């Protein structure tokens, strides 16, 4: 990416953050000050960076695993949601998996998933946004796709507002619909809270893979997801 483009992206992102911080933070504070019982329970957002540690997840053609991209977008998303006034908890804050307990890679992965699920289910006020990257056999597939848990009707609403936000801000050509998760996605199957997995893009597509490792694009992706969450919250 060109130097000017990077500056432009950074500036646009900062302006948007400043704009929303000014616009939304006072609104949230006014609501809290003027109403003893908020019209809507304040959600606690669980931001889940997929994989970590020895589990790198999907890997691009030039060897970049999704775990670091997931962490970077999750950190940006958490910062934005915090600025917007929401309570946020991250499932991981560094490259480590949640558990190194177990004699095999599989056993450690199972323990990691159990600990993530515990965080997902720690409160009925939790709303879960899990960040991942996609991979497919064809190098042509591209674009964000959002999967939602079948257990709570709000999951689809959240998936749709995030999908719409990413499309309007970043990917106008993206026609993908949100998709109900089948029973194979353990974490979405085993939570009753609103929960989505955002597959931000395809590491198997060289063009999209180059974007996904770019810090400016990661911030734009995080911003698009955060405004999708705001749309969901204000529905």
120-139 residues in contact with Zn ion (CB under 5 A) are 132
Nearest-angstrom CA–CA distance, 111 and 121: 15
Q: How far is the CB of 57 from Zn ion (least distance, A)?
A: 4
Q: How far is the CB of 48 from Zn ion (least distance, A)?
A: 10
Q: How far is the CB of 103 from Zn ion (least distance, A)?
A: 24
Q: What are the residues facing 202 on neighbouring strands?
A: 134
Q: How far is the CB of 70 from Zn ion (least distance, A)?
A: 7
Contact 55, 112 (CB under 8 A): yes
Apex CA 163: angle with CA 40 and CA 218, to 5°? 100
Element (H, E) at 128: strand 126-134
Q: How far is the CB of 125 from Zn ion (least distance, A)?
A: 26
Complex with Zn ion: residue 45 or 71, whichever CB lies closer: 71
Nearest to 131 by CA among 80, 67, 186: 67
Complex with Zn ion: residue 125 or 182, whichever CB lies closer: 182
* Binding of residue 68 to Zn ion (CB under 5 A): no
Question: Of residues 50, 68, 143, 194, which one binds Zn ion by CB under 5 A?
Answer: 50
**For the chain, where are the alpha helices, taking DSSP H only?**
3-34, 66-83, 105-120, 153-169, 186-189, 206-212, 215-233
Only segment of 29-37, 48-56, 101-109, 214-222 that touches Zn ion (CB under 5 A): 48-56
Residues in the chain: 235
Number of residues near Zn ion (by CB under 5 A): 3
Apex CA 51: angle with CA 113 and CA 101, to 5°? 50
Complex with Zn ion: residue 50 or 52, whichever CB lies closer: 50
Binding mask 77-116 for Zn ion (x = CB under 5 A): ----------------------------------------
Chain positions contacting Zn ion, by CB under 5 A: 50, 57, 132
């Amino acid at each position: 990416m060109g130097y000017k483009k990077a500056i432009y992206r950074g500036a646009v992102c900062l302006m948007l953050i400043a704009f929303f911080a000014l616009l939304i933070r006072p609104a949230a504070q006014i609501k809290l000050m003027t109403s003893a019982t908020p019209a809507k329970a304040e959600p606690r957002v669980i931001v889940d960076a997929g994989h970590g540690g020895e589990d790198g997840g999907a890997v691009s053609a030039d060897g970049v695993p999704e775990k670091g991209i997931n962490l970077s977008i999750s950190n940006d998303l958490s910062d934005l949601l915090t600025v917007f006034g929401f309570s946020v908890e991250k499932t991981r804050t560094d490259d480590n998996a949640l558990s190194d307990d177990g004699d095999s890679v599989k056993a450690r992965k199972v323990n990691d998933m159990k600990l993530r699920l515990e965080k997902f289910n720690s409160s009925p006020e939790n709303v879960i946004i899990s960040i991942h990257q996609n991979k497919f056999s064809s190098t042509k597939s591209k674009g964000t796709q959002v999967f939602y848990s079948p257990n709570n009707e709000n999951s689809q609403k959240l998936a749709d507002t995030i999908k719409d936000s990413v499309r309007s801000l970043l990917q106008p050509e993206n026609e993908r619909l949100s998709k109900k998760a089948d029973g194979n996605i353990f974490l979405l199957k085993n939570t009753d809270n609103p929960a989505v997995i955002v597959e931000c893009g395809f590491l198997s597509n060289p063009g999209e893979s180059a974007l996904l490792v770019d810090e400016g694009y990661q911030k734009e992706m995080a911003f698009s997801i955060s405004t999708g969450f705001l749309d969901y919250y204000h529905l």
